[in-house]
Structure 1
Amino acid sequence: MNDCLIDMSGDPRTRDYVARQTAAGRTKKEIIRLLKRAIAREMFRCLTTTATIPNIADLRPLRQSKNITLTAAARHFGVWPATISTLERGIRRDDDLANTYRDWLTAA
């Protein structure tokens, strides 16, 4: 319950929500219950909203067509070869690295 009280005083969105609920005549206990429900709704939306994931299927064939080894690509980006390998196989998601990697491969 102390976490809710801390959020009630820190987060601007929560402060506004608490102010509206206080103006509506709600008690602190009711406001905390409403805050928990609002957080649960927001989390549910985050968990159930479909996110677009960039396609990575072109990375490995593009690298292989340019005869670039995993080691050379990893050395260029300053990462381990396993990082590039897991990125190409879709095991690890790193959108920034994937986009940078794709641009580098296209320019190579």
Structure 2
Amino acid sequence: MHWLYLCLAIIFEVGGTTSMKLSEGFTRLYPSILMIAFYLGSFTFLTLSLKNLDVSVAYAIWSGVGIVIITLIGFFMFHEKLSIVKAVSIILILIGVVVLNMESNHSSIEETIEIEEIN
């Protein structure tokens, strides 16, 4: 369930950031209201996911995947430029998120083995 909460947190964060862009500096009412609602939802689901996930892993995935999705939305929806440096940086972020998640899984396996050895 914690992974579902994290996915929802990412979706709401992306909605909030997109609404932030559409609010044009709080000059448009509905996108401004949506931004606040989306971020409230995002932080709620992120907090729920932290009951069972390490904060370092959850935050890295939340922010890293959010960055990638927002970059794609910026490119396709807002016609922002995507340079080689941006693309390589995003790939490095994704690699970092994957490695951090693998390390987290590896650590939890080691903890389980250590607990079993003690017993």
Say whether the fold is shared (TM-score over 0.5): no
More helix per residue: 2
TM-score normalized with structure 2 length = 0.27
- Looking at both structures, which has the greater relative contact order when contacts are Cα pairs under 8 Å and sequence separation is at least 6? 2
Q: Looking at CA atoms only, which structure, 1 or 2, has the larger radius of gyration? A: 1
